[in-house]
Amino acid sequence: MNDAAAARILVVDDEPQIHRFLGPALEAAGYLPLRAETAAEALRLAATRSPALVLLDLGLPDLDGKAALARLRAFSSAPVIVVSARDMEDEKVAALDAGADDYVEKPFALAELLARIRAALRRAAGAGQGEAGGRVTVGSLDVDFAGRVARVEGGEPLHLTPREWDLLAALARAGAGRIVTQRQLLMAVWGPAHAEDAQYLRVYIGHLRQKLGPAGALIRTEPGVGYRLGEP
């Protein structure tokens, strides 16, 4: 069974044309689409039908999408991909900080959205395996949490400073393809006192990429938002 088999995908959007487009496309990809045009209906379906993943628009008629996301997160850990025409960086950051797993702007390419869905479902299926098994592998990069060691293509352990290790570990724990906002990384690595010091992050990301060599390309920048490890 692949990660698309029988997975329910809840599509939350008040635009009928989005449902007319995405419904058949999701079915063709092997998913079972659920339709909601309001936040209230979305929360009801999320509670009663247990979707594997939620595609959430932010501009809902009865409740802002970020507020709906906060309510959803009170009882569901299903991956949430925000699909919205709001393209401001602060909107993306706010949605990701509120608990979204990814953000796709409208208009979007169907192939890209399906790739993001597959990646999110893989992360959900493997949630906790990195910590339980002590390691995460993304492309040529292997991160061993228990040993606090990172290797590229099975080579010698990389010589990372404690901060560089903490930064790489934070990205790896989030899962390949998942955006981690600048604030989330700063809080995790430097603490609340440096939550707004984005320059710290840029400098250490640069150092980390250099030490990873060719594997440094696995650290992807989402301009003004944060970083993700690996391709979606």
Give dist(CA 217, CA 200) in Å, integer: 19
pLDDT higher at 232 or 21: 21
pTM, two decimal places: 0.68
Instruction: Please state, in angstroms and rounded to a whole number, the distance separating the CA atoms of residues 94 and 97.
Output: 5
Percentage above 70 pLDDT, the chain? 93
Among residues 43, 25, 22, 165, the alpha carbon closest in space to that of 106 is found at 22
Average pLDDT along the chain: 86
What are the angstrom distances between the C-alpha of 129 and each of 12, 73, 123? 29, 21, 10
pLDDT at 39 over 70: yes
Fold for domain 8-125?
Rossmann fold (3.40.50)
Burial label, 97 (beta-carbon count in 10 A; 0-12, 13-18, 19+): middle
Q: What confidence tens digit (pLDDT) does each residue in 50-68 have?
A: 899 999 999 999 999 999 9
Q: Which residues fall within 8 angstroms of residue 151, CB to CB, at 6 or more apart?
A: 141, 142, 144, 157, 158
Asked if residue 136 lies in contact with residue 130, where contact means CB atoms within 8 angstroms, the answer is yes
Domain boundaries for CATH 1.10.10.10 within the chain: 129-229
User: Who's near 12: CB < 8 A, 6+ residues apart?
Assistant: 36, 37, 39, 42, 54, 55, 56, 57, 60, 65, 68
Domain 129-229 has CATH 1.10.10.10: yes
CATH 3.40.50.2300, the chain: domain bounds = 8-125
Tell me, letter by letter, the H, E, C secondary structure of the chain: CCCCCCCEEEEECCCHHHHHHHHHHHHHCCCEEEEECCHHHHHHHHHHHCCCEEEECCCCCCCCHHHHHHHHHCCCCCCEEEEECCCCHHHHHHHHHCCCCEEEECCCCHHHHHHHHHHHHHHHHCCCHHHHHCEEEECCEEEECCCCEEEECCCCCCCCCHHHHHHHHHHHHHCCCCCEEHHHHHHHHCCHHHCCCHHHHHHHHHHHHHHHHHHHHHEEEECCCEEEECCC
The 10s digit of each residue's pLDDT in 127-181 is 544 444 588 888 899 999 888 899 999 889 999 888 889 899 999 988 778 888 8
